Structure 1
Amino acid sequence: LSGAVIVSTPQDIALLDARKGLNMFRKVDVPVLGIVENMSYFACPNCGHVSHIFSHGGARLEAEKLGMEFLGEVPLDIEIRETSDGGRPIVVSNPESPHAKAFTAIAQRVWDKVSAAAGDEARQAPKIVMQ
């Protein structure tokens, strides 16, 4: 297991569960790559007004407090749910959307951390042994 990503909504009660998950991974020596804030905000599709329905920034503050990297935030948006439920996630169905870009930026940060931790040895082809 290369590592774990903790995903939390911004509310205090959800962050308690995120801390429990973090502690569990630490107990079993699984590196925690960072924290993501899900349902971070809602942007009205009609007027663009941003609402912080579940608060905002709690996961970022928790990451700082715990000395973890904050990997990014994902908005609360019906298109994310609809495309995922339909079998064509937002990164496939609308890859240029801000929502898809949020996911791909987080995925890139995770990939960079996993690649850096693996080093050059992991990037090489596996050794094949015939016996």
Structure 2
Amino acid sequence: MTKIIKWLINQGLSWLTGGTLDRVLSTVDKSIDNETERQKIRSEAILSHIKTQEGTRQVAMQSRVFWAVWALFAVPLGLWWAAVMLDTTFTFGWWVPDLPQSVKPWADTIFGSIFGSGAGVAGVQLISSAIRGKR
């Protein structure tokens, strides 16, 4: 009985609106589908860009010039950091100046790459040894 009443109400709405409601709802559905497709295309483009950048970096890291330039920045930064740590730990009374603001973003990137990659490798090794059961 309730199915018949629902059918009659639907038919009455369709007759009153002349199918306008159906057209509006189908337009909304198509709009949502189009937006979903746009988001999918955008995410595929971003993924393609990231993979291209990854490949470029892998090729660059095969070069000795890359590591020489990297060491040119990382070694003095490491020495500065060691001096700060020694002075802080043993209170030698050295006056180790802070890094200039123009160098600070580069130093943060270098520290992040050194310690971030080391922590990442250590984390992966810890997880893999736990999976293998060799803790």
Task: Write 1 or 2 for the structure with the bigger share of strand.
Answer: 1
TM-score by length of 1: 0.25
Q: Work out which of the two has the higher radius of gyration on C-alpha atoms and give 1 or 2.
A: 2
| Higher RCO (C-alpha under 8 Å, 6+ residues apart) | 1
